[in-house]
Chain A
C-alpha cells in the first residue's frame, strides 16, 4: 500500500535581509569639531551625491542612533546600496575644509549583531 504523501512546506530565504546596518565613526584631524544629527546626515548624502550622483543620493538611508560626543552612528541602508555607501564613505576627505575620515567599525545584515563587539569585550 503506498503511504499517503506527507504535506510539507519548504521556505527558502535567498536574501534574508533587505537592509544592512553599519556602525561608523567620524574622525577629524583637529579636535573640537561638532556636528549635530542633521549635519551628519547632510554629510553622508553629499558624499554619496559626489561619487554616484543624484540618483543614488536618494537611496533610503537612515541614521538609527547618533552620538554627538564620539561622532559615532549606526546607519541603515538597503542591501543594494551598501557597496555604494561604503565606497563613498571611504572616499570622503573633508567637511567644511577640515580633514576627516570615516572609520567603519562593523557591518552586518542583522541589527542584533551590532549590539556586541568582541573587540571591545572586557574580560574580568
Chain B
C-alpha cells in the first residue's frame, strides 16, 4: 500500500546534572536535533530529515525521548545523535548525551520495549539503592508491575480456555 513509512527512535537523555532533564522541552530538543543534523549532514541532511521530523513523546523525569523521522533518512538522524553534547536552555548550558535504546517502525513497538526496559531498570535500581525508604518504594513499584504482568497473562489464559 502507499503510505509514508516512519522510524521511531527511542532515546534516553543522560546527564550528570539533574537540572538538565527538568529543563527538557520539546521545542528546545527539536531545534537542537535539527541544528545538529544541519551541522553534521549539511543543507541536504537538514532538508531531508526535517520533512517528517517530530518529537512524539517526552518524559522529563526519566529523560526518555521518542523521535520520529522518515524511513528513507532515519540513518542520517541516528548518526547525528552522538554529536549532541549539550542542552542549552535560558542561557544555561548542560553537558549531556543521547543514548539510543530502540529503533521501531511504530509507536506501539517502542512502547512495548519501553515497558520491558523500565521493568529491568527498576530491578537495577533496587539493587543499587542505599536508603531504606527508597528501597521500600522501589519494591512496591516492582511488585505492582509484576502483578500487572500476571493479571495480563491470566486474562489471556482465561480467553484461550473459553475458546
Contact = CB atoms under 8 A, between A and B. Distances in A.
Interface residues of A, number: 8
B160 to A, nearest CB: 52
Interface of A: 49-56
Contacts of A56: 41-42
B41 A55 contact: yes
Contacts, number: 25
B89 to A, nearest CB: 25
Contacts of B44: 51-53
Interface residues of B, number: 9
25 contacts: A49-B42, A50-B42, A50-B43, A51-B42, A51-B43, A51-B44, A52-B41, A52-B42, A52-B44, A52-B45, A53-B38, A53-B39, A53-B40, A53-B41, A53-B42, A53-B44, A53-B45, A54-B39, A54-B40, A54-B42, A55-B40, A55-B41, A55-B79, A56-B41, A56-B42
A56 B42 CA distance: 9
Interface in B8-53: 38-45
